[in-house]
Structure 1
């Protein structure tokens, strides 16, 4: 089994590689490409630009060579990826894999999605509600207070603690499933006390990728 990853944030490579190795894969079975320029182009409003679409297609096709699946770890690229259908290997959006996993795990009970960036709240709400419809689960998207400011200041430990605290609060308030919206939040799962662990995009995407075998 070989899995390729398209990242737009350098730190996500370690997050997904850690999840892959924990899932039983070897580092030699993984291939990564980090392209922050693609995220920046979408941020500049070029998501529907033909040249950007062609560039994303070429990058993903290259990653698909000799791969059983390609995981796109950046939600910003989602609309561009979805606009292209003729992939030579399964292409998995990590954010979609997480939303599907949350809907399945919820069994119709409340889902809480934790975000660190205000601009991602609406898009995550729409995505998770779309996949939760079949189960009838309610979806609440919450912003972790000060998490992004702490993250940008470079205090990773305090940021992860804030995310873990928010997850524990969500469980205490009745959430059946808690999902960390951003891949870098995954490490906060180990800090959450109790029997239940939040879902994260890295594990959800790897699980979906392994199902393509």
Structure 2
């Protein structure tokens, strides 16, 4: 049974990934959740992912390798740390939004990527633009105004509503694909009609981790 260790920076994301596992239909996969909210909080205070925060994240990711067949970093702000941890890790270490980026840009066109946290913008932009070079997709990364404030205020319904509205507006403005950069945004997709539903990272990220764990 493949074991995937998930490193979260938001408590509620454990349930998001448990639900995503059920939605993917993956069988024989077990998830283990570790939450380090302090890492995202430190990045928010610094306004970015600093080398020190990245180094601590790398250490946590490598520690999780001991009892897993793959490790999945679910925080987009910390995403580059997964790329730093991966080369010397004994099992695959992935960032959840890498699979999202590949899926979002695969058909080219205009791709709008929505973030809730400002610290996520730059690592997300770099990731999606790198993926887009192979397909010629045009990538625009945007912050949803007021969304993170609603989340931190304990108002998940408003959080999801704001994200869904922004995703719908992006499609109306001509985006051929919309992706929700952060795993915590995934619930907003269900608020939109299926034909304009944005891509979310938990399901595609878990599928990628499961494939990597079996290959390893």
Fold in common (TM above 0.5): yes
Q: Out of 28-37 and 1-10, give the one that drifted further.
A: 28-37
Q: TM-score, normalised by structure 1?
A: 0.85
| 1:87 paired to 2:104 | no
CA contact (8 A) 1:41 1:52 kept: no
For the residues of structure 2 that align with 1:195 and 1:42, how far apart are their CA atoms? 35
Partner of 1:65: helix, strand, or coil? helix
Cα shift at 1:78: 2.6
For the residues of structure 2 that align with 1:35 and 1:125, how far apart are their CA atoms? 23
Change (3 A) 1:131 1:86: same
Aligned counterpart, 2:192: 192
For the residues of structure 1 that align with 2:40 and 2:116, how far apart are their CA atoms? 18
Aligned counterpart, 1:48: 51
For the residues of structure 2 that align with 1:58 and 1:119, how far apart are their CA atoms? 21
- Residues 70-109 of structure 1 aligned to structure 2 (within 5 Å): 70-84=71-85, 85-104=87-106, 107-109=107-109
Partner of 1:74: helix, strand, or coil? coil
Cα shift at 1:66: 4.2
For the residues of structure 1 that align with 2:139 and 2:4, how far apart are their CA atoms? 31
For the residues of structure 1 that align with 2:116 and 2:74, how far apart are their CA atoms? 16
Aligned counterpart, 1:160: 160
Aligned counterpart, 1:133: 133
Q: Which runs of 4+ in 1 moved over 6 A?
A: none
For the residues of structure 2 that align with 1:119 and 1:38, how far apart are their CA atoms? 12
Cα shift at 1:149: 2.5
Partner of 1:5: helix, strand, or coil? strand
For the residues of structure 2 that align with 1:123 and 1:139, how far apart are their CA atoms? 13
Partner of 1:76: helix, strand, or coil? coil
Cα shift at 1:208: 1.0
Partner of 2:197: helix, strand, or coil? coil
| 1:3 paired to 2:4 | yes
Change (3 A) 1:40 1:166: closer
After superposition, the C-alpha distances for 1:15-67 in whole angstroms (9 at most, x for unaligned) are: 11211122234797111111223334555668424x973x5444323322342
Q: Out of 1-10 and 33-42, give the one that drifted further.
A: 33-42
Aligned counterpart, 2:40: 39
Partner of 1:3: helix, strand, or coil? strand
Aligned counterpart, 2:16: 15
Number of aligned residue pairs: 209
Gaps of 5+ in 2: none
Aligned counterpart, 1:110: 110
Cα shift at 1:170: 1.5
Partner of 1:111: helix, strand, or coil? strand
Cα shift at 1:204: 2.0
Partner of 1:136: helix, strand, or coil? coil
